[in-house]
Homo-oligomer: A and B are copies of this chain.
Amino acid sequence: MIVGKVVGSLIATRKNENLIGCKFLIVEPFDKMEESGRFVAIDNVGAGIGEVVLVVKGSGARIGCRMESAPVDAAIVGIVDDGIGLE
């Protein structure tokens, strides 16, 4: 998983039916994290712009968020309160 900040959001009216009702947020990884650019994640914990979040990538984003049949590859699964070694 990586830690990043929510920096934006997305509107897509025309989309795959399994994505209806999903909130799409743009995440910018923290500088020291392995990911180097922004990506889109669905929100699983009620995150908002400006919050520091924990993000899972890959099949865990679908299966861990009970969206087994949705075309999703990244999900925000925690709001980070505090941490050592993030920056």
**Residues of chain A at the chain B interface (Cβ within 8 Å):** 1-3, 7-16, 18-19, 24, 26, 28-29, 32-41, 44-46, 49, 54, 56-66, 68-75, 77-86
Contacts and interface: CB of A to CB of B under 8 A. Distances in A.
Q: Taking the full assembly, how many copies of this chain does it contain?
A: 5
B26 A54 contact: no
Given A1-B74, A8-B86, 20 more contacts: A2-B39, A8-B83, A10-B86, A14-B45, A14-B46, A14-B78, A15-B45, A16-B65, A16-B78, A18-B64, A26-B83, A32-B37, A33-B38, A34-B36, A49-B84, A56-B72, A60-B73, A61-B71, A62-B64, A66-B69
B80 A11 contact: yes
